[in-house]
Amino acid sequence: MNTINLALRNLWRNHRRSLTTLLAMIVGAVSILLFGGYSGNINYGLQSGFVQHSGHLQIQHKDYFLYGSGNPAAYGIPNYQHIIDVVQNDAVLKPMLTVVTPTLNLGGIAGNFSQGVSRTVIGAGVVIDDQNRMRRWNDYGFPYHFKSLALTGTSPDSAVIGTGVARVLQLCGPLQVKHCPQAPAKVVTDGARAPDDIAALSAQEASGQPAQADTHIELLAANAHGAPNVAGLNVVKAELQGVKELDDLYVMLHLQQAQKLVYGGDAPQATAVVLQLQHTSQLPAARARLEELLRTTLKGEALEVHDFATLNPSYGQITGMFAAIFGFIAILIGAIVLFTVGNTMSMAVVERTVEIGTLRAIGLRRGGIRRLFVTEGLLLGVIGSVLGVLAALALAWLINHGGLTWTPPGNVEPVPLMVRVWGEARMIVGTAIGLTVVAVLSAWWPARRAARLEIVDALRHV
């Protein structure tokens, strides 16, 4: 009759109370795992979104991240194609890479001068084929339905704008944007008119455009020499960007058009070389290798490397917030389990006081009594954790196959509601071990009290 066998029988003796305690543990484990699976899914979803749009890593001109976002002329990378070649041909990096592509971000003013409206915008010049490949990244198996970018197969002067930009530029009608309220009657301002040279540039650019005048805009930006330059763009689509601030500013255009706008006839540059990896787990190795290349092969280039978490601070903020909530829930559940198991074991000690006295009288040491009750707590912990994990897996499966959807912050389309428990070994093992440890700790005090009972007092207990 070993201690585990005896402890199991003692638990079964009062099976109703043991089951109630186990139920509390199961509910606790399920709560922790389902919320953990949910917040883990949000983490993966955010990560996938950022990686699909801006890659895992970006090589940028030194200090561009801090000071250069509005100044592509000063912080451009002139020989970006050489850098891309070096990265793509590097033996260490090559097996990790899915896409290496240049981008050019610029700030400017978009105007629909035929309507007399304009607004500041942020433009992103991209290689559309590369971006389409990046959007296919789905390392976490989300049920995405991949759609090609609206700029796919369009002419070099095509652009996609945010619906907020379309609203201000009075393009909702021509672009057939849904839920886009008609702008009020033109507001006459007392502001100064555009300088004559800008107006002339605009007129010159507009004169060369084909007939699709109702979707035509001009994008004004400073060129590499600090002088204004205008590019005529044909807007093919207005798309919601999920975040209003971005929706009101966003213009996506072909890289060569953006380069032409900023650098004119000079050698084209890029503000970043974007690297997308096969798996996020490769990020530390890839980053280390890139930094080594910057110290060796690309020595002398004023470059630096940033990962997606640095480039998108909201990622850390959101995941941090969910981690804090998860920690709070885990502590709360832990406290509930602590008191539930502690109460169960305390009641068992009181009810079995005579039995404790008997065991001590026939020769069981104090340590044996302590071990018996701690083992009962341990068994409650192990059984409760295992059943809790199984229940959480079953519930997660039901949720994941229930067809539920939700629209995460920053998203436009609703996404399936998913709770990732299966495969999250670290979370499962951590939760199970954590709850078991809590159960053992909560059994420790009653066990200690039982072991310290005087034998004659215990035998006299009524």
Partner 1 sequence: MNPVVLRNVAKHYRLDAVDVPALTDINVEIHAERFTVLSGPSGSGKTTLLNLIGCIDRPDSGELLVDGQEVLKLKDDALSDFRARRIGFVFQNFNLLPVLSAYENVEYPLLLSGKALNATQRRERVRALLDAVGLSDKANNRPGQLSGGQRQRVAIARALATEPMLVLADEPTANLDSHTGASIIELMRKMQRELRVSFVFSSHDPQVLAAADDVISIRDGRITDIRRLDHAVGTHPQPSPVPVQAHGHQQASRLEGTA
Residue from 4, 6, 395, 437 touching partner 1 (CB under 8 A): that is 6
Residue 373 to residues 343, 346, 370, 377, 396, Cα–Cα distance (Å): 13, 10, 6, 6, 34
Residue from 267, 285, 390, 455 touching partner 1 (CB under 8 A): that is 455
Decide: 239 and 163 in contact? Cβ < 8 Å: yes
Q: CA-to-CA distance for 73 and 267, rounded, in angstroms? A: 11
Piece of 8-16, 128-136, 322-330, 425-433 that binds partner 1 (CB under 8 A) = 8-16
User: In the chain, count of helices (H) and strands (E)?
Assistant: 17, 11
Local structure of 322: helix, strand or coil: helix
138-177: b (≥16 Cβ within 10 Å) or e: eebeeeeeeeebbbeebeebbbbbbbbbbbbbbbbebbeb
Nearer to partner 1, 206 or 459 (CB): 459
Site for partner 1 contains 1 (CB under 8 A)? yes
Q: What is the DSSP string of 117-179?
A: EEEEEEEEEE-HHHHHHHHT--TT---------TTTT--TTEEEEEHHHHHHTT-HHHHT-TT
Site for partner 1 contains 459 (CB under 8 A)? yes
Both structure tokens of 159: 């652009």
Piece of 209-217, 282-290, 381-389, 451-459 that binds partner 1 (CB under 8 A) = 451-459
Residue from 94, 366, 401, 426 touching partner 1 (CB under 8 A): that is 366
Piece of 7-15, 112-120, 338-346, 421-429 that binds partner 1 (CB under 8 A) = 7-15
Both structure tokens of 282: 């490769």
Residue from 213, 302, 361, 404 touching partner 1 (CB under 8 A): that is 361
Q: CA-to-CA distance for 419 and 417, rounded, in angstroms? A: 7
Least separation in angstroms between residue 441's CB and partner 1 is: 24
Least separation in angstroms between residue 12's CB and partner 1 is: 8
What element of type H or E holds 222?
A: strand 216-222
Site for partner 1 contains 15 (CB under 8 A)? no
Least separation in angstroms between residue 411's CB and partner 1 is: 57
Both structure tokens of 406: 């939700």
Residue from 69, 154, 358, 411 touching partner 1 (CB under 8 A): that is 358
Count residues binding partner 1 (CB under 8 A).
24
Piece of 37-45, 302-310, 329-337, 354-362 that binds partner 1 (CB under 8 A) = 354-362
Least separation in angstroms between residue 351's CB and partner 1 is: 11
Piece of 216-224, 245-253, 360-368, 431-439 that binds partner 1 (CB under 8 A) = 360-368
Residue from 94, 147, 225, 365 touching partner 1 (CB under 8 A): that is 365
Nearer to partner 1, 254 or 360 (CB): 360
Footprint of partner 1 on this chain (CB under 8 A)? 1, 6, 9-10, 12-13, 354-355, 357-368, 454-456, 459
